[in-house]
Amino acid sequence: MTAVTETATSPSSRKASRPVRRQQLIDATIAVLARKGYSALTVADVAKTAGLSVGIINFHFESKEKLLAACLSHLAEEYYRNWHDALAVPGASVAERLQLIVLGDFNDKIFTPDKLAAWIAFWGETQGRPIYVEICSAYDDARTRAVNDLCEKIIKDGGYKLVPGTVMRALESLGDGLWLGVAAGNSQAKFTITASQARQALQAMLVSFFPKHFQS
């Protein structure tokens, strides 16, 4: 595809730096994914949502596929930073770090209706799944290792008769399921759950596994 320049844009839009413009287009892509899903998204939809031309998208990303890859990379890196920062909280105990990681999946900065719907578009739609596996596998592995390591340390400290990997999988599976449950609520399904209720459910699971370290 032949690259185009931004010469057709208005003076104000031409002043935006390349990183600012790219982020604007990624934000618009998230919004369109939330409305239309992966397979129905078009470059024209993104351009209209961003208030820019299709040519500018081609200039910055060259193709719809590269735009979607950049969007998912942005979401994955943002999610990684959110939970990884919990590992570096000064003075936090192992149990506190695990709690921050697990409950942090429902932090406002990463957990919004549009971002949730965009994640589900990559997870759940057949066309979006390959790009999810390609971009997110390493991020998912890092998260799995971190949660498993914390569970192992808490189990050892508390003398719990539990298998770290089993506990880790239970916590992560519940978190994923709650994301889907909140999404169903956003779609006005019969049985809904809020982000606050999701955090309460995760806290209850921590208490059930590690009663010496957590309180309800």
Alpha-carbon separation of residue 95 from 99, 105, 130, 185, 203 (angstroms):
6, 16, 35, 30, 12
User: Where is average pLDDT lowest: 12-16, 51-55, 129-133, 176-180?
Assistant: 12-16
Here the tokens at position 104 are 């942090």
Model pTM score: 0.86
pLDDT confidence of 10, banded at 50, 70, 90?
very low
Arithmetic mean of pLDDT over the chain: 89
Query: Which position has the higher pLDDT, 189 or 17?
Result: 17
Q: How confident is the model at residue 15 (pLDDT cuts 50, 70, 90)?
A: low
Task: Write the pLDDT tens digit of every residue in 56-107.
Answer: 998 999 899 999 999 999 999 999 999 999 999 999 999 999 999 999 999 9
Q: How far apart are CA 24 and CA 44, in angstroms?
A: 15
Going by pLDDT thresholds of 50, 70 and 90, the confidence category of residue 216 is confident
What is the pLDDT averaged over residues 31-53?
94
Q: What is the tens place of the pLDDT at every residue in 121-141?
A: 998 888 888 999 999 999 999
State the pLDDT at residue 138.
96
- Of the candidates 150, 30, 128, the one whose C-alpha atom is nearest the C-alpha of residue 79 is 30
Domain range list for the chain: 64-209
Domain 64-209, CATH homologous superfamily name and number: Tetracycline Repressor, domain 2 (1.10.357.10)
Interatomic CA distance for residues 180 and 174, integer angstroms: 10
Query: What is the greatest pairwise CA distance in the chain?
Result: 67
